[in-house]
Structure 1
Amino acid sequence: MSLPFALSSFGLSAALGLGLAFAPGATAPVWAEVQAEPAQTEPAQAEQEAPVADAARIAALADTMKMDDIIGVMREEGLEYGRTLSEEMFPEKGGPQWEAGVALIYDAATMRSRFDAALAEGLAGAGPELEAIEGFFGSPQGQSILQLEIEARRALLDSDLEDAAKLAWEELSAEGGARVDQLTRFAEVNDLIESNVMGAMNANLAFYRGLSESGAFPQEMTEDQMLSDVWGQEPDVRAETTDWLFPFLSLAYQPLSDEDLDAYIAFSETPAGQKMNAALFAAYDVVFTRISYDLGRAAASQMQGEDI
């Protein structure tokens, strides 16, 4: 699991590897419905009363996972997405005021605080699994993997490098072989496609809610209408997720030996790996649904010529 996929990518928010997940860009965790009871978008979402893991230990784990660096990449993606959003929704009404508002929405300290709180909730009762998580990602091998994920994600901020990564993956997948099988297995074990698609759909729904609640639509948009529109985007979101995911995985793990990648896959298959994967996606979902909701509200205000 890695960076999240939403109205950007987490507007989309794409996640990959146990360390990263997509970040908003396309619109913006598997569903049989966008959930009948979608993720909440109110500020209290990450603050509901529930058992949580020790806050200091979780903060230390997030440091081990290099979350400040990951959030830094997400923020860069978010600021770029804000510019794209402005060009598409209100090309004559953007500018410094809008960019300042987007920068506040993507405040790194706020994102980290929400992430840590949600991760603590997701890892509540982890017990022995938490020790295994700390051991793997705190090891030299784990730290190297995390750094490769971050560097690849940052590289893909450059559109030329992203195109090159996609071409390299097309050639690799056409040839087939052990590395293609490993990356496919890694994506399956961590449920990367479905979890990222669900995160993006939740984020898209939150964006619609922000728009609607702030009066962006001439006529009130019902929940059913919003859900219908979000579901209509699912094929495109799934295709974009897949098209981005495998070039990223291929680029990030290219320096890894087959043995190191097998070790990562093996850890991902353990109860500890599965627990961490679920907790990470849930935490990213909290962060990006709130960001998308706030972006929706800000976009509505901008469209109506109000201060944001």
Structure 2
Amino acid sequence: MRAWILAPLLWLLTLPAWADARMTVLVDLLELQEAAVILSDEGLSHAETLNQEMLGGQGGPGWQMQVESIHDAGRMVEMVRRALEETMTPDEVETAIAFYSADLGSRIVALENAGRAAIADREVELIARANYGVLAGDHDPRIALVRRLIDAANMIDRNVSTALNSNFQFLRGMRDGGALEDSDEDLLADIGTDLDAVTEDTSVWVHAYMLLAYHPLSDAEIEDYATFAETDAGRALNRGLFDGFGKAYEDISYALGRAAALNMVDERL
């Protein structure tokens, strides 16, 4: 009887390790490290713009070291992983693994990362936006397929929320670094005035990016992807990805704002 009791308990003790291993499989299939490096590179480019516009191009090696530390891809992946662990059930993880371990899922991940890296180039982004405008004007059926994906993940609202929260955190960082004196209420009011413009721009960008990324896929393949995105597993996965990357962007934005402010204050002194 004692052996019969211990066996299930020992099996239960292995569950966290098994779940951790399966999440590692999913993180690898999603190529989150590659995605985080692409996003970090975007952040470094943005930081150079801040250097030119806010620091007069005088940030130097110290600024570069700060922004490289702030845009740590490994830390970003860990934040996303934790969000996925909190959001997805074991069954949902297995469903996602099954989808992304297949040929279509693997190609989708590669296309999404390649598309994100490509659209970081301003000229490519403008072409992608123009292409979306043409297809939308012609009522191209591919637009409807892409919108299924957008709606399943609530991409517009979640991206807008991430953008506004990140802007707020950047301004908080600047205030805490001594460059601003506004209250949280003042900062929120200022950011709120951008809501409509940010929503419109985000909608165009998301459509443009997805049309660019999924261009090599057939309509049937995009429809299969949309069908997965509309499942409980697909929705939980996207919720976890947005939660994780959103939190990472907020932390990065706050740290970047504070670093910029401290450098600005040092220059004044």
Residue 159 of structure 1 is aligned with which of 122, 128, 139?
A: 122
The SS at the match of 2:266 is coil
Are 1:212 and 2:180 counterparts?
Answer: no
Check whether the contact 1:122–1:282 (CA below 8 A) recurs between aligned residues.
no
Q: Any conservation in 1 of the 2:26–2:93 contact (CA below 8 Å)? A: no
Once the two structures are superposed, what CA deviation does each residue of 1:154-207 show, in whole Å capped at 9, x if it has no partner?
111222222221222222111113111111222122211101001111111111
Tell me what 1:107 maps to.
72
**Paired position in structure 2 for 1:251:** 212
Q: Does 1:277 align with 2:199?
A: no
1:182 to 120, 123, 145: 145
Distance 1:183 1:67 in 2: 22
Equivalent position to 2:253, from 268, 292, 307 = 292
Deviation at 1:95, TM superposition (A): 2.7
Q: Secondary structure at the match of 1:255?
A: coil
Q: TM-score, normalised by structure 2?
A: 0.88
- How many positions carry a matched residue from both structures? 252
In structure 2, stretches of 5+ residues that fail to align are: 1-15
Letter in 1 for 2:54: M
What SS class does the counterpart of residue 196 from structure 2 fall into? helix
How far is 1:92 from its partner? 4.7
Q: Report whether the alignment pairs 1:241 with 2:202.
A: yes
Native 8 Å contact 1:210 1:293 kept in 2: yes
Supply the distance in 2 between the matched residues of 1:114 and 1:147 (Cα, whole angstroms): 21
- The one-letter code of the counterpart of 1:299 is A
Identity rate, percent: 33
- In structure 1, distance between residues paired with 2:57 and 2:97: 49
- The Cα shift of 1:58 comes to 2.0
Q: How far apart, in 1, do the equivalents of 2:231 and 2:74 lie? A: 32
Deviation at 1:273, TM superposition (A): 0.9
More helix as a share of residues? 2
**Correspondence list, 1:1-308, <5 A:** 54-123=19-88, 126-217=89-180, 220-305=181-266
Q: Say if 2:23 and 2:93, in contact at 8 Å, map to a contact too.
A: no
Q: Distance in 2 between matches of 1:207 and 1:57?
A: 35
Could you tell me whether the CA contact under 8 Å between 1:93 and 1:303 is conserved in 2? no
Cα distance in structure 2, aligned partners of 1:177 and 1:92 = 45
Q: Structure 1 stretch 283-292 or stretch 57-66: which is displaced more?
A: 57-66
- Distance (Å, rounded) in 2 between the aligned partners of 1:130 and 1:96: 43
SS of the residue corresponding to residue 133 of structure 1 reads: helix
Gaps of 5+ in 1: 1-50
Structure number with bigger Rg: 2
